[in-house]
Amino acid sequence: MSSRFVLNMKICYQCRIEVFVAERVGRSETCPSCDADLRCCLNCRFYDPVAYNQCCENQADRVLEKDKGNFCEYFLFKDSTDAARDVSGKQKAKNPLDGIFKK
């Protein structure tokens, strides 16, 4: 029986570049493009800026530095489709304001 090493395509929160990561991301792993920590809240599926402690997993410990690597046992890397949806949602929120504040 052979073991398989599965790589998944994900998107780095900082540089928006696709990265290939193992199923489990280690705390010290960084983006090959921008050197940002990959196992951090901003890359996690449970991260939500409007939720309590900015996390939808209610059993997770509070993490103050959302962009730094951490030991959270509930960490699940966002799918690339989730990350793309986050960007489009931010753009939709910014666009109406651009019309009001542009000179």
Predicted pLDDT of residue 22? 82
Summarize pLDDT for 61-84 with one digit per residue, the tens. Answer: 999 999 999 999 999 999 876 655
Using CA atoms, how far apart are residues 71 and 57, in angstroms rounded to an integer? 14
Predicted pLDDT of residue 70? 95
What is the pLDDT averaged over residues 35-55?
95
The residue type of 57 is E
Predicted pLDDT of residue 78? 92
- Under the banding of pLDDT at 50, 70 and 90, the label for residue 1 is very low
| pLDDT over threshold 50, residue 102 | yes
Using CA atoms, how far apart are residues 78 and 83, in angstroms rounded to an integer? 6
Looking up tokens 């705390």, which residue turns up?
27
Using CA atoms, how far apart are residues 17 and 33, in angstroms rounded to an integer? 7
Residue 33, CB-side half-sphere exposure with 13 Å CA sphere? 11
23 or 47, which is more confident = 47
